[in-house]
Chain A
């Protein structure tokens, strides 16, 4: 079965067999290794895969390359390109998490069989929907260090007395807290309105760090699952907020439409909690099948035995 050790199969997405793109649609498409992409069909489902060299996509090589931000970006963008191309054919697409690799087609079919009920349910749930991303950044002075407010607590030389200094410092802190509160409230209001226009929502932790860039304090990083026909209403609502909220000191960013990445592995909106797979390190394989997938909130901790016959 694993006779060919030179080549592995990188999996991009699952679709319905009937909705899977044909060979014509995939003709010019290339994947993470510049390879052609094809569909592996089984039991009414199809997985889009591309043959990749084992040398670059084996366990050690993949691990090393994903830690390199340039390699990671290349893989992520190539993965996204395949998802986009398949989405463009009108198919309902369940994107796989980055770097899901199989030995051969038999392994891909085994996965489709083992996860058949879950994948089918997810395709039903997400059919006709796209994902929009909305981020809210605080752009006011509260986004900066507290010292940026007014006379500033970090300017003791300007203070004529210790008491003055303390008073100014307290006032600045108060103004800063007030501003942060107003910004959070604005973000909360935006999220509530957008949630009402969405089928499901998912909150990501706020972005910060070098990759996030100097956008101010990220106070909302959310994904919204929206029916295609409701897309205009949703984006208009976001644009409306962008016009209205500058006085609240926040800035909006809209991305999308995305394939429903944030909802593909999720049973219901806002579901959190522990992953069933984190306990029972060996025997969860049989119980996992047919359960609503809980894998989303805990980031890629499939049971070790999962999908292994």
Chain B
């Protein structure tokens, strides 16, 4: 029954991409844009749409062995 959508490989949904682009990646301060307040503001505005970019929502369990 693997063919019926149980596993959808390589599909790149926006929400997965935003998880990574807004919560992952190297964080360095740019010269002028999106310093602390800006990034937080963008996140606050977006988090109704994409709850997973909000780190205050805890994962369902702690990282194993951490």
Contact = CB atoms under 8 A, between A and B. Distances in A.
Contacts of B53: 299
A97 interface: yes
B33 A14 contact: no
Contact of A203 (B28, B29, B31, B59): B59
A269 B35 CA distance: 26
Given A261-B21, A262-B20, A206 B51 contact: yes
B7 A204 contact: no
Interface in A141-199: 184, 187-188, 191-192, 195
B33 A299 contact: no
Given A98-B21, A101-B32, A270-B66, A243 B2 contact: yes
B43 A307 contact: no
Interface in B35-60: 35-36, 38-43, 45-55, 57-60
A101 B30 contact: yes
Nearest to B54: A205
B3 to A, nearest CB: 10
Contact of B66 (A58, A191, A269): A269
B52 A265 contact: no
Given A72-B46, A206-B59, A265-B27, A212 B7 contact: no
Given A59-B33, A203-B63, A246-B6, A296 B51 contact: no
A76 interface: yes
Contacts of A87: none
A184 B39 contact: no
Contacts of B41: 63
Contact of A306 (B29, B51, B54): B29
Contact of B26 (A95, A184, A239): A95
B51 to A, nearest CB: 5
Contacts of A262: 19-20, 23-24
Given A205-B58, A220-B60, A77 B17 contact: yes
A297 B5 CA distance: 32
B13 to A, nearest CB: 8
Contacts of B58: 205
Given A62-B34, A69-B46, A101-B33, 13 more contacts: A58-B33, A62-B38, A95-B21, A95-B24, A97-B24, A98-B25, A122-B26, A187-B60, A243-B2, A243-B6, A293-B27, A299-B55, A301-B40
13 contacts: A59-B38, A97-B26, A208-B52, A209-B50, A211-B18, A212-B51, A212-B52, A261-B21, A262-B19, A270-B63, A272-B63, A272-B66, A300-B27
